[in-house]
A and B are shown apart, each in its own frame.
Chain A
Amino acid sequence: MEPLSTVSQTDVLVLSCDLITDVALHEVVDLFRAHDATVSMLMKKAHEPTEMIPGQKGKKKPVEQRDFIGVDDTGKRLLFMANEADLDEELVIKRSLLQKHPRVHLRTGLVDAHLYCLKKYVVDFLAENRSLTSLRSELIPYLVRKQFSSAACVRQGRDSKEQDQKKDEKSLDIYSFVKGDSLLELAPDKSCWNNLRGDMSEAFHGGRVRCYVHIMTEGLCYRVNTLGLYIEANRQVPKLLPALLCPEEPLVHASAQVADRTLVGSDSIIGPSTQVGEKTSIKHSVIGTTCTIKDRVKITNCIIMNSVTIEDGCSLQNCLICHNAVIEKGADLRDCLIGSGQRLEPKAKHLNEVIVGSEQLMEI
């Protein structure tokens, strides 16, 4: 994050590279601009996995360590944030928070999309304060907490610390970085109706650090950070692809050779130079480039990466097949995960297994 402060001269949008979403980005940015927020972020209800994850016993919870997200009545202002891992037996909420926002909706089933809009001064603050190492688990909760401590108190607190000769770098505070908007400071004095309601009311009513969150109610938003979510995302994306992203591009690539009597589902993707044999059916699946799929193969709910060979008469259901794998004749696979370069015996039968080379363990 440090180099960013030298590069960026304005407010920044930070996002993680494993985010797949069709959110209208302006929602987050609008929130950020309308409320003159310190930070605004994107969240989404956690998905229930629709299918089993290959090679995994039982269904996993959608979110392993739940986040507790507190929002106000409008569902936009972010008031509270804590992770289950940081809490012991109980969840603690300060009185000062409840005094300002008597109703807090604590939600647990949300996932953070790791998309943040940050003010310039937050970046500066981050550059100065080296003890903050993680954006998600340290900086954001810090900002959320700081919303309800006023600057005056902070200053007072620091004075007392100075007396104790303890003024160290850690007492660096976000407030010293908040750049007051001169217009905003002027406004309460100059305007005749200062009990302003509306988007900027928070700014008028004292809170100098303001965090907002946009919670998606519908639409697609995946953070592909686990295998399960990767598979899930692969299932969902083909459905949306024609409508949203590239309407002119066909799902079955022009250079793919698909035999006439083959069934290809409308939500399946077949990559370039892939050959598909006779009497093969492909449903709800994604197939990569230069694969060879022979005759009478059934592929349902699968993700098949590039250069995979599947021989005659195989049946694959809910599987993930990595690059260069070869599946010999008549194999029957369900809920399996096949590592790259693996070669399966003819007529092999596998159910809910992970088959990988021992040297390259995949993390599930």
Chain B
Amino acid sequence: MAARGSGRRGAGSGGARGPDPQEEPPPPLQAVLGADSFNRRFFPISKDRPRVLLPLANVAMIDYTLEFLTATGVEETFVFCCWKSVEIKEHLLKSKWCRRTSPNKVRIMTSDLYRSLGDVLRDVDAKSLVRSDFLLVSGDVVSNINVSAALEEHRKRRKLEKNVSVMTMIFKASSPGHHARCQEDDIILAMDSTTNRVLHYQRTQGLKRFRFPMSLFQSNIETVEVRHDLLDCHISICAPQVLGNQIHMHVTTEEYGARVSNLLMYEAVCSDIIRRWVYPLTPEMNFTDDATQSYTHSKHNIYRGAEVSLGQGSVLDENVLIGQGTVIGSNCSITNSVIGQNCKIGDDVILDGAFLWNGVHVADRVKIQQSIVCDEAEVKEGAILNPHCVLTSQVVVGPDIVLLEGTVISLHSPDEEEEDDDEFSDDSGVNKEESKVKLKGYNKAEVGSEGRGYLWKAADGSEADEEEQRQSLWGPTLNPEQESESESDLSQDSEQPDSRAASPQLDDVKVFQNEVLGTLQRGEEENISCDNLVLEINSLKYAYNIGLKEVMQVLSKVVLEFPLQQLDKGLDSQHYCVMLIPLLKNWSPVFKNYIKRASDHLDALSAIEEFFLEHDGLRTSIAKVLMTFYQLEILAEEMILCWFSQRDTSEKGRQLRKNQQLQKFIQWLEEAEEESSEGDQD
């Protein structure tokens, strides 16, 4: 509906014949276009030319964006410029957008103070430029999406519930690994499938597994859809005032939309344009209405401008665009390439995936693969450019030089870049730089004997940095998907067996034991009172669902083992007793809390017995330990005697009972009891 808005207006205000005559016609659609990327991803190319003016199939990027906006029914566009705003302004003033007949009024706003898209939007708000819902795009979006459906949805949503939805983002469905899906911007979304509300938005780069907060699922949303098949077109419909907090989405399947966010995307989008995915924005349509941009389209997607001359024996294989006035020598082979206007290409040149801008000179026997050569650069005889090379404007390389993969050469010295920190506002750097060139001279090894330009790399120039540089300019390459998958599987696999090591029932007692140990350690270190220890142990008991009997056993075991942990294993019984007895004294309230019934006493005793059976070396100290327990009134004498005289013990247990000191202790106990009983009788 909105797409036809401009047409309808032209035909007079006949729009009142809608389904609901009461309804006011929607206000003219406005758009905010950020003509600055607010990052330096295209450095050093964008040092000479702002990103939005970089030619994409010989047409500046911003023209695609403006054409998209116009086609979709936008009637007023605010272009916000910052870096190199003069050039952008000049370009726009010359273009068809600023003619009187243009259905889309372009208003240019410039300021050096914009630092982010947020600044731009704040300015939009401050000047109250927009009256209604508007489109927000950046100047490097190439798209043929008709946003009317999304706009309709957006308006309906806003009408239904005021001040809830603030934004509708537009996505394009494309399967994972699609070449137009920028790895950096690759996203994963969680959405409410009934309302199309975006619940979660996450970049996927470098992540093997994706985490979704549980809060997504708390509300009464029946189905949460997790989507990894979406490409963020960076086109959104925004409400004029931010009063809600919900973001919705619209998915298009048929149309094209992508943002040129790095050179890899530049390459991908460029080839998509030539392969006519962005129809009707194809080169031969000449939508910029520029006389120099007329092309003829022939089969295999070969586009030729006016006055192109092709030498004998030269072959244009497929997907080639050649600008006006370009001369190509003989016996060349050109595939999947874009060549600008007024280029000169010598004989026996092989271009595969090359993007040559205007006025490039390529001499004989040059081979260029998947590289970008900017305005008026020159490649001399016999030079070979491996994939992902970049020559910025006026650079000269060669002759007979091989540029390694990912080489970036610019006339601007990389050192200068550091001084030039304020890259958004400082235009004067260009002039300063001229004098510098003369000062420093070029490294012949890097650019060839007749070369001009600096190898662009970080100051120390180590290889790792070069890789990084390439990474940042070109963006991460598409990895073969299988690889990443297997990695994630491996890690998953190694984790899994551990996570469920033993059956859970066995685990609990062990975990409980560890927890009790930790509690006691803390108690020892921080001098926590016994009441609190009991409280903690009780809570652990419930947490792990442990019976009283086990608590008893674990507690005795942990306490008896306590000194062992503090010292080395080879501990003699003497030392052991010295260490243990104060501990027992400290913790006697804890024991008393748990040892109450007769069976508790026996459980504790059997745990003690078990411990001493396990630690042969300490066996002699059992008497002393029991003595301590007795003196602290933790264990009653009858119970100790009862335990001692237990019949159903193992062989080892009997041996333990033969221990001399233990026998003595028992004897002593028996005597004491007799005495006391005698005393009772008296």
The B524-562 residues at the A interface (CB cut-off 8 A) are: none
User: How many Å lie between the Cα of A153 and that of B496 in the bound state?
Assistant: 14
Give the residues in chain A near B501, CB-CB below 8 Å.
Answer: 170
A154 at the binding interface (Cβ < 8 Å):
yes
A90 at the binding interface (Cβ < 8 Å):
yes
- Contact across chains for B213 and A90 when beta carbons are under 8 A apart: yes
- Contact across chains for B493 and A153 when beta carbons are under 8 A apart: yes
Minimal Cβ-Cβ distance residue in A for B229: A102
B228 at the binding interface (Cβ < 8 Å):
yes
State the majority secondary structure of interface residues on A. Answer: mixed
Q: Which of A91-99, A190-198, A267-275 contacts B (4 or more CB under 8 A)?
A: A91-99
- Contact across chains for A95 and B493 when beta carbons are under 8 A apart: no
B503 at the binding interface (Cβ < 8 Å):
yes
CB of B20 to closest CB in A, whole Å: 35
Q: Which of B193, B497, B501 lies at the interface centre, i.e. has the most chain A CB atoms within 10 A of its CB?
A: B497
Give the residues in chain B near A87, CB-CB below 8 Å.
Answer: 214
- Contact across chains for B223 and A95 when beta carbons are under 8 A apart: no
Q: Which of A34-42, A103-111, A296-304 contacts B (4 or more CB under 8 A)?
A: A103-111
Give the residues in chain A near B494, CB-CB below 8 Å.
Answer: 157
The B492-519 residues at the A interface (CB cut-off 8 A) are: 492-494, 496-497, 500-504
Give the residues in chain A near B488, CB-CB below 8 Å.
Answer: 94-96
Write the A145-180 contact mask toward B (1 if CB under 8 angstroms, else 0). 100111011101100000000001011000000000
B579 at the binding interface (Cβ < 8 Å):
no
Write the B171-183 contact mask toward A (1 if CB under 8 angstroms, else 0). 0000111000000
Give the residues in chain B near A107, CB-CB below 8 Å.
Answer: 222-224
- Contact across chains for A95 and B210 when beta carbons are under 8 A apart: yes
- Contact across chains for A133 and B223 when beta carbons are under 8 A apart: no
User: How many Å lie between the Cα of A108 and that of B488 in the bound state?
Assistant: 26
A345 at the binding interface (Cβ < 8 Å):
no
- Contact across chains for A104 and B503 when beta carbons are under 8 A apart: no
Minimal Cβ-Cβ distance residue in B for A69: B223
B226 at the binding interface (Cβ < 8 Å):
yes
A66 at the binding interface (Cβ < 8 Å):
yes
Q: Identify B176's interface contact among A94, A102, A150, CB under 8 A.
A: A102
Q: Identify A148's interface contact among B207, B210, B489, CB under 8 A.
A: B489
- Contact across chains for A153 and B228 when beta carbons are under 8 A apart: no
B630 at the binding interface (Cβ < 8 Å):
no
Q: Which of B61-69, B136-144, B478-486 contacts A (4 or more CB under 8 A)?
A: B478-486
The A331-348 residues at the B interface (CB cut-off 8 A) are: none
A204 at the binding interface (Cβ < 8 Å):
no
The B442-483 residues at the A interface (CB cut-off 8 A) are: 481
- Contact across chains for B209 and A92 when beta carbons are under 8 A apart: yes
- Contact across chains for B228 and A99 when beta carbons are under 8 A apart: yes
Minimal Cβ-Cβ distance residue in B for A102: B229
State whether A133 and B503 are in contact (beta carbons under 8 Å apart), knowing that A94-B488, A95-B488 are contacts in the complex.
yes
CB of B628 to closest CB in A, whole Å: 42
CB of B502 to closest CB in A, whole Å: 7
Minimal Cβ-Cβ distance residue in A for B498: A170
CB of B492 to closest CB in A, whole Å: 6
B4 at the binding interface (Cβ < 8 Å):
no
State whether A150 and B486 are in contact (beta carbons under 8 Å apart), knowing that A98-B228, A106-B224, A131-B503 are contacts in the complex.
yes
B188 at the binding interface (Cβ < 8 Å):
yes
- Contact across chains for A89 and B485 when beta carbons are under 8 A apart: no
Give the residues in chain B near A90, CB-CB below 8 Å.
Answer: 211-214
B225 at the binding interface (Cβ < 8 Å):
yes
- Contact across chains for B493 and A91 when beta carbons are under 8 A apart: no
User: How many Å lie between the Cα of A45 and that of B496 in the bound state?
Assistant: 30
- Contact across chains for A98 and B490 when beta carbons are under 8 A apart: no
Q: Identify B490's interface contact among A91, A103, A157, CB under 8 A.
A: A157
User: How many Å lie between the Cα of A153 and that of B491 in the bound state?
Assistant: 10
User: How many Å lie between the Cα of A103 and that of B229 in the bound state?
Assistant: 7
Give the residues in chain B near A150, CB-CB below 8 Å.
Answer: 485-486, 489
User: How many Å lie between the Cα of A297 and that of B502 in the bound state?
Assistant: 58
User: How many Å lie between the Cα of A342 and that of B625 in the bound state?
Assistant: 56
The A67-120 residues at the B interface (CB cut-off 8 A) are: 68, 70, 84, 87-96, 98-99, 102-109
- 30 CB contacts below 8 A, A to B, read A66-B217, A90-B211, A90-B213, A91-B213, A91-B214, A93-B212, A95-B210, A95-B484, A95-B488, A99-B228, A102-B227, A102-B228, A103-B227, A104-B228, A105-B193, A105-B226, A106-B217, A106-B225, A108-B221, A108-B224, A131-B502, A133-B504, A145-B496, A150-B489, A153-B486, A153-B489, A153-B490, A154-B489, A154-B493, A170-B501
Q: 19 extra interchain contacts, Cβ-Cβ under 8 A, other than A104-B225, A104-B226?
A: A89-B213, A90-B213, A91-B213, A92-B212, A95-B488, A98-B188, A102-B175, A103-B225, A106-B190, A106-B217, A106-B224, A145-B492, A148-B485, A149-B492, A152-B486, A153-B490, A154-B489, A154-B493, A156-B490
Which 9 A-B residue pairings sit nearest by Cβ, starting from the closest?
A: A102-B229, A98-B228, A149-B489, A102-B228, A96-B485, A90-B211, A157-B493, A104-B226, A106-B224
